[in-house]
Every structure is written in C-alpha cells, then in structure tokens.
A and B are shown apart, each in its own frame.
Chain A
Amino acid sequence: MSVKEVQNSKESQEYFVNMGPQHPSTHGVLRLLLTLDGETITNVEPHLGYIHRSIEKMCERDSYQQIVHLTDRMDYLSCHMNNEAVCLAVEKGLEMEIPERVKVIRTIISELTRLSSHQLWWGVMGMDLGAITSFLYGFRDREMITDIFEETCGARLTMNYNIPGGLMFDIPSNFQTKVKEFIIHFRKKLPEYDQLMTNNIIFRNRTEGVGILTKEDAISYGVTGPSGRASGWNNDIRKIKPYSAYDRVEFKEITYTKGDSFARYKVRIDEMWESMNIIEQLIDNIPEGNYKEKTRVVIKLPKTEIYQSVETARGELGVYINSDGKKSPYRVKFRSPGLSNLNALNSMAKGGKIADLVTIMSTIDLVIPDIDR
C-alpha cells in the first residue's frame, strides 16, 4: 500500500520508519521512507535532492575544458571514467583523431579506477553487514592505487587528468613499474577476500536469495552495470560500443542468472580479476607518441547534439551535449547510473526485512552524489 493509503486507512497495522538523511549505511544523504508491518517491509520510497549542486546548470556557463572538473564530483569513485566520457563527447563533436598513446593510457587508468571503486565497495559492504575489519582491508589495498594516481596527476580523489584532446601531463617514468608491482601484490590479496567473506556461511545466508531482480525487471527499469549483469542482461558498454582501447583487449563479460544479492556480489569480485587481466595486457606495450593533441584555447563545437556513453563502475554514464556554436554548451545532461538503479530498490526490497534492505543497498552500490548531481 502506498504512503497516502496507509496514512488514511484506519485498520492498517503498518507504521513508518525513516531511514533518514543521516544514517551510517545509506552511503550518502538519502532519505528512505519505509512502511513496515512488524519487521517486514511493504514499501520503500526514496526522497532525493539533499546534495543537489546544479552541476548541469553550471556546465552552461563554463567552457568545454572547464566542464571536465565538475564531473569529478558526481560519482567520485569513478572520476576518471566520468572525465573520459565528457572528453570523448567533445572530441566526437570536434571530430578529432586521438593519438594511440592517449587511448591506451586512458584505458589503463580507467581500469585502475574501476578496481579502486570495487575495493571500496567490498570494504563498505563488509562494514554494512557487520564485519568491520573488511573495511580496513579494502582501504589498505586501495591505498596503492591512490598513491599511483597521486604521482601521476597530483590528487587522490578529484583528479581532473583527462582534457579534451588528451591528457594533462604525460605519465611519470615509474608508472609502469608501480602498476606492475600493484598487480602482483593484489593478485595475492584477492583470494583473502574470498576466504574472509565469500565462503563464509554467515555471509552466504545473509545474501543468497535476498533481493531478487528478474531479467525483465532489470531491462524495464534500466538497471545497467554489474547489478543488471547479475540478472542475466548483457549490457556492458565496453563490448557493445567499444571506445578508447577496449576493442583490442580480450576480456570476458561476466553475467550470472540468479539475480540475487550474492550474484551481484560475485559479478563485482569477478570483474576485479578481469580488470587485472586487461591492465596486464596493456601495460607493457604503451605506444610512443604525443600525450595530447593541440586544440584551440577556446573550443567551439558546431551546432550539433552529441551523446557518448561510458561504462563506469556502477553502470552506464551517458553524456548528452547540445551546443549552438558558442563557447559554452547550450545544455548538458548526464544520464546517471545510480538513479535507474535506485528505482529498482522498491521491487527488490518488498517482503524482506530491514536487515535485507541494508544488504540490497550495499550490493546495488549507490553513490548519492551521482544520483543528485
């Protein structure tokens, strides 16, 4: 029953609980209005907008090089992929040819970002379920990647390294050695993740059969990314419309069919193995060349509409730019993966308990600034 019906009915035994904007496990400021019957959930209504910063409006007054640093702050865990999306859209509009070196480096750094986002996701998932130690282990492994980024671009979270036309600086000389060291270290640590959580009988009982999302529901809600692939829908943008250097590497697209929380968990763990395979294939043969193409100081796109989509760690991020020939775009719209994934929360959580809701929210992997922009 919807919220209004429960409020107006006299015999209903259901009551409302607010998992309010400040809550340790909603991964940001998200208000969920739960309608409960005992301990079983009958309705979940999300209320958004607590961290809306009008990024799309700000893009209408900035020039094309300046829009890129605003996208860092949307889904801050996959910021290189966000930057890459905007840069690819602008380069498509200008019809520029990008050097091969830039494509390969962009792919390597995107895969490293995907790894670091999944590591943080694993740590936070353990913490939500009660095993607080896994949070520290996830961050320990992520520290090596952030150190690599700090050496390459100078910042640890909001990196702003891609610019329309290429990269802001060239990679430092010890980039390849450090990445190879990291891969050797992480290949030994990832089985520990399995030992600690995946095979644990308490964890299996908490996640198997919880929050089932069927394939038809996934397609109809538009749940992209690992959450959709766990229900059997092949929606990996890197395979459907390859961009950067993805057409020349071999990797598997991982799908499971069951659609419950354990399948979503397994998809991300397997994706971490695949990301390491992709990086290993590319790291040894980075082609020589320029690290950026020369563009004008003031970029002006012709009067077109451009759409470019990219596979971030959470799903498909789409960038739509409508320009009318001036030095700022007329309208920029971001299709955020988090909003569509959040939409499916109601159908997944009905009939479960409050503890199940926490599990489902951590497996969908929401980042609220991505939803509110």
Chain B
Amino acid sequence: MKAIINYIKEVVGGIKTLINGMKVTGYYISHPKEIITQQYPENKDTLKMMDRFRGEVIMPHDENNEHACTGCEACEIACPNGTIEIISDRILNEETGKKKKTIVKFVYHLQMCTMCNLCIPACPTDAIKMGQNFEHAVFDRSKLTKVLNKPESKLRAGVED
C-alpha cells in the first residue's frame, strides 16, 4: 500500500514541478513588453556608445588641422605587438632656425590592434584617444593600415612642455 502511495506522490509531485517551470516561460510570452533585443541596422540613429568604449585609436585634430603628437614614440614602446609605427624626421623649423624631430606619418595597423588601451595613458601630450566606431569590416586588407595624422597638418603651438 505504501508503495502505491509513494508512486502517486511521485507522479503528482513531478507534474507540479513541470507546470511551475511552464509558468516562467508562459509569463514571458504573455508580456511582449519584456523583449530585450534591438534591431541593429535600423536603430543606428539612436545608438550611443559609452564614453570609454574602445573602438579604434584616433588622433583628434582641431579646426586649424593641428594635432598634438610630438613624435616621442612612447606609445610605440608601450604597444605589445607593434601595431603603431611612427615615421619621423629631423625637419628644419623655419621660425627658430633649428632642426627638430617632427612626425611624418603615424601608421596604425588596425588588423593587429588588440584594443588593450596601453598606448593612450602612455602619451604625454594626450595626442591619441579611443574612438567609438566599431564597424571595421572591409573587403580589402590594405584599408586596415591607417595613417592617423591628416596631410598638411602641423603640430599645435605650445604643446611640447
């Protein structure tokens, strides 16, 4: 007799736990306001990334097309896998008449960058920062090697101090 009562208790108890579980999923299908996914390409207008998001390295230029990079190569030393290459030269500065080391090209290999953020705190003049663009897919690999300083841009005055 006890065996029969145990059997019935097992069956009824089991069915109760199953219905309890179904209540959870039943709650979510009857409340479509709880949908948490977003339709990606259609919501680009309202999409806002966080301030510190690490998308890619950019060099901000101001209105006079000037940047703040002195060519000190601190970021190149801090980068773990050679993503940053700085090509600089000793160029004659017309105003003071002395030859100074200035930057010709700031080459940034996006295909190797791990977004580890070690280069940004290393820069003494705050010349580079992390941008927020995350759509980097291209069909042609050479587009991933970027030159960050725009042509005809010069060093902003009063930066080296």
- Is A–B contact present in the complex under a CB 8 A cutoff? yes
Interface size class of B (residues with CB under 8 A): 20 to 34
B130 and A200 form a contact (CB under 8 A): no
A200 and B115 form a contact (CB under 8 A): no
Query: Is A69 an interface residue, CB under 8 A from the partner?
Result: yes
Query: Is B24 an interface residue, CB under 8 A from the partner?
Result: yes
Complex CA gap A201/B11 in Å reads 10
B78 and A65 form a contact (CB under 8 A): yes
Q: In the assembled complex, which residues on chain B have CB atoms less than 8 Å from the CB atom of A152?
A: 52
Q: In the assembled complex, which residues on chain A have CB atoms less than 8 Å from the CB atom of B23?
A: 195
Pick the interface stretch among B14-22, B101-109, B149-157: B14-22
Query: Is B43 an interface residue, CB under 8 A from the partner?
Result: no
**A297-316 vs B, Cβ < 8 Å mask (1 yes, 0 no):** 00000000000000000000
B17 and A150 form a contact (CB under 8 A): no
* With contact pairs A154-B130, A168-B121 given, residues A196 and B50 touching in the complex (Cβ less than 8 Å): no
Complex CA gap A136/B53 in Å reads 25
Complex CA gap A198/B80 in Å reads 45
A133 and B25 form a contact (CB under 8 A): yes
Query: Is B47 an interface residue, CB under 8 A from the partner?
Result: no
Query: Is B54 an interface residue, CB under 8 A from the partner?
Result: yes
**A174-208 vs B, Cβ < 8 Å mask (1 yes, 0 no):** 00000000000000000010011101111000000
Q: Which residue of A lies closest to B52 (CB)?
A: A154
Query: Is B138 an interface residue, CB under 8 A from the partner?
Result: no
**B42-56 vs A, Cβ < 8 Å mask (1 yes, 0 no):** 000000001111100
Complex CA gap A259/B52 in Å reads 44
B118 and A66 form a contact (CB under 8 A): yes
Query: Is B133 an interface residue, CB under 8 A from the partner?
Result: no
B50 and A150 form a contact (CB under 8 A): yes
Question: Which of A69, A172, A200, A202 is B116 in contact with, Cβ under 8 Å?
Answer: A69
Q: Which residue of B lies closest to A191 (CB)?
A: B24
* With contact pairs A69-B118, A155-B115 given, residues A199 and B80 touching in the complex (Cβ less than 8 Å): no
Nearest CB of A to B113, in Å: 11
Q: Which residue of A lies closest to B15 (CB)?
A: A201
A69 and B114 form a contact (CB under 8 A): yes
Complex CA gap A168/B130 in Å reads 14
CB proximity to A under 8 Å, residues B13-43: 13-14, 17-18, 20-21, 23-25, 36
Complex CA gap A101/B23 in Å reads 44
Nearest CB of B to A39, in Å: 25
Nearest CB of A to B63, in Å: 27
B17 and A201 form a contact (CB under 8 A): yes
Q: Which residue of B lies closest to A192 (CB)?
A: B24
A151 and B18 form a contact (CB under 8 A): no
* With contact pairs A152-B52, A195-B23, A200-B18 given, residues A143 and B36 touching in the complex (Cβ less than 8 Å): yes
B80 and A66 form a contact (CB under 8 A): yes
Q: Could you pull out 11 A-B pairs where Cβ atoms are within 8 angstroms?
A: A66-B118, A150-B52, A154-B54, A155-B54, A168-B117, A192-B24, A195-B24, A196-B21, A199-B17, A200-B21, A201-B14
A contact residues vs B (CB 8 Å cutoff): 62, 65-66, 69-70, 133, 140, 143, 150-155, 158, 160, 168-169, 172, 192, 195-197, 199-202
Pick the 9 closest A-B CB pairs, nearest first: A69-B116, A154-B52, A66-B80, A201-B14, A154-B54, A151-B50, A160-B116, A199-B17, A196-B24
